[in-house]
Structure 1
Amino acid sequence: MCDFDSNPFADPDFSNPFQDPSVIQVTRSAPPGGLEEYNPFRHARTAGPGNAAKSTPAPSQNTQPAIMKPTEEPPAYSQPRNQDQARAQAELLRRQEELERKAAELDHRERELQSHGAAGRKNNWPPLPQMFPVGPCFYHDIAVDVPIEFQKTVKIMYNLWIFHAGTLFVNMFGCLAWFSVDGSHGVDFGLAILWFLLFTPCSFVCWYRPLYGAFRSDSSFRFFIFFFVYICQFGVHVLQAIGITGWGTCGWIAALTSLNSSIPVGIIMLLVAALFTALSVGSLIMFKKVHALYRTTGASFEKAQQEFATGVMSNKTVQTAAANAAASVASNAARGAFKPHP
């Protein structure tokens, strides 16, 4: 047991390992900061035999994470897909704005109807003074009755009707001037007055009011009435622009003829002929435009027939007449049945 209690470092034959020359050389060659701060990779590596020593570059101070950059552009098919998505989104936004606009329009029309009352709306056309013995005959308000997308077209047609009435009014003065220089054209002056008094109210009632009602209630039957009457009106405009002598219009033929009698009167009649020509061209353009809008509303001839049948059968006058006719037929049949045979 005494061998285990002895101190091996006290033996004079024991050699201290830290006193070894190789260890002392390594400790002396250590950096000044000590072994804790020693970095063996800071210095250049020992090159192998036959190779020169290579210096290791110092690391950069601004270290950033490595980011891989794409070496190729995204495929071409991804760009049209993004464009389609953008177009679809723009279309949805446009439809949303249109729905909001229509909702605002319906609210406005509802407020107008509530303020005036659907049954208590007073007629306001023609705008006659209160002291006039005859009152207005129609209710006319494009901003209230006609949807927003059709208001511009209806306003143009209303202005075209005003232009038509104004042209007929000027035509009277043209024929009067013609009659003043040539007494044989009194018939033209009389017919010019008749055309103004006849065509002005008839055109408003026969083609403008059906157009107004067609856009107001989306009525196929009223559209067909407008197309039928307006085609006839366009034919009358063409004849008035031609100006056949004795028909009561200052057209091109009548204006050129009047130049032989009086140049000032001929110039006036040429201006009237130009107005009739402009009226014909404007009527043709608006007819095509209204027909294009009519096709977008989904109207059809079958729908017009249904509206006509429904309107006729719901009319109280027609119902009363049908009931009276049925009653008379039944009474006649009963009399014939109970009549004694000879």
Structure 2
Amino acid sequence: MSAFDTNPFENPVDVNPFQDPSVTGVTHSGVDQQYNPFSGTDSDALRGTTIPASTAPSQPAVLQPSVEPSPQQVAAAAAQANLLRQQEELERKAAELERREQELQSRAGPTGKENNWPPLPKSFPIKPCFYQDFSEEIPQEHQRICKMMYYLWMLYCVTLFLNVLACLAYFTVQSDYGVDFGLSILWFILFTPCSFLCWYRQIYKAFKTDSSFSFFSFFFIFFAQVVISVIQSVGIPKWGNSGWIAAISIVRTNMSVAAVMMVVAIFFTICAVMSIFLLKMVHSHYRRTGASFQKAQQEFSQGVLTNRTFQNAAMNATASAAQNSFQRN
């Protein structure tokens, strides 16, 4: 009945909608009330669970300026990279030398590899004197030029043998030039083994051990070999060489013998040209290995001082000198 007692014509009471407790509680709390869609229950969402906003003052975004490296820093970085590359190269060479040394030591043992050069039959009474294997003992960057030096030695030996035949033909036509035939035999017997031992094995050892002393020995001996090849291609009469001068001098006498001698002269010329070309190639490889004359001297002194024969001779000389001095006193 109280609802009917209310006078509808009375002045309505002013109702302030902001006096609602739910509104005043939010406005006086000092915290922004936001709807959290990730709340646990629907009732919380309906009640408007709030998340306090960050009260830290916002700072404007600042872009860091890019700093260009100075030329000194670039040069220092390049120098450091170069040093690291050189160190890696030295470590690689040291590992390669150690591997070869171990292989040589294993070969020297009872189960090691036997000598394989010259390739002789097993039934032959003379056994091979050297071990030669390009793929195993020579670094890959030097294998090509080392093989070319080996082919040059074989070509030179074949040319010396053909020179003996050409001088024999020359002797049959001109009996006065028997000295050429005799000297040609001497050159074939002398130069064939000496060229192998003196300059081919020197360059083989130089590439195998990276020895500056072996390089210098090769340069000194092979330069003499180049001079000898040039003289043999010229063909001075009575020197035992079937070169151009000797071949041209017999053209009017016997054309067939002159043709044979010209072929030998061409072979001598090819040997001389290839010798000069390979000498330059070896020199360029030698410069790239970092060898020097001081290093060769150091290797020579170390090799002499550690040689057992030299040590015994020095000890004997010292003992003899001391004994003579004691006797005099």
Asked if these proteins are the same fold (TM beyond 0.5), I'd say yes
Alignment of 1:269 onto 2:270: no
Q: How far apart are residue 160 of structure 1 and its match?
A: 0.6
Code of the aligned partner of 2:316: N
Q: Which of the numbers 305, 308, 319 marks the counterpart of 1:313?
A: 305
Q: CA deviation at 1:133?
A: 2.4
Aligned to 1:153: 145
2:173 maps to 1:181: yes
1:11 is aligned to none
TM-score by length of 1: 0.67
* Paired position in structure 1 for 2:205: 213
Q: 1:213 Cα deviation (Å)?
A: 0.6
Other-structure match for 1:302? 294
Match of 2:6 in 1: 5
1:335 matched to 2:327? The reply is yes
Q: Secondary structure at the match of 2:299?
A: helix
TM-score, length of structure 2 as denominator length: 0.69
**Residue aligning to 1:201:** 193
What displacement does 1:131 show?
A: 2.5
- SS of the aligned residue for 2:253 comes to coil
- Match for residue 60 of structure 1? none
Q: Secondary structure at the match of 1:247?
A: coil
Equivalent residue, structure 1, for 2:123: 131
CA RMSD, 1 decimal: 3.3
Higher-Rg structure is 1
The one of 138, 141, 161 aligned to 1:169: 161
Q: Distance in 2 between matches of 1:106 and 1:329?
A: 41
> What count of residue pairs does the alignment treat as equivalent?
254
Residue 318 of structure 2 corresponds to which residue in structure 1? 326
Mapped contact 2:226–2:272 kept (Cα < 8 A): yes
Counterpart residue number, 1:53: none
Pairs within 5 Å for 1:1-342: 5=6, 116=107, 120-337=112-329
Query: Are residues 107 and 327 of structure 1, via their aligned partners in 2, closer, same or farther at CA, if it must alter by over 3 Å?
Result: closer
What are the ranges of 5 or more consecutive residues in structure 2 without an aligned counterpart?
10-81
CA gap of 1:113–1:335, structure 2 versus 1, over 3 A, is: closer
Report if aligned partners of 2:97, 2:209 keep a CA contact under 8 Å in 1: no
Question: After the TM superposition, which parts of structure 1 deviate over 6 Å for at least 4 consecutive aligned residues?
Answer: 1-4, 101-108
Change (3 A) 1:173 1:4: farther
Distance apart, 1:113 and its partner CA: 5.5
Q: Distance in 1 between matches of 2:113 and 2:259?
A: 47
Once the two structures are aligned, what percentage of the paired residues are identical?
A: 52
CA contact (8 A) 1:112 1:144 kept: no
Matched residue type, 2:266: A
Whichever residue aligns with residue 238 of structure 1, its letter is: V
What does residue 41 of structure 2 align with? none
Q: Residues 151, 2 of structure 1: CA spacing in aligned structure 2 closer, same or farther, 3 A cutoff?
A: closer
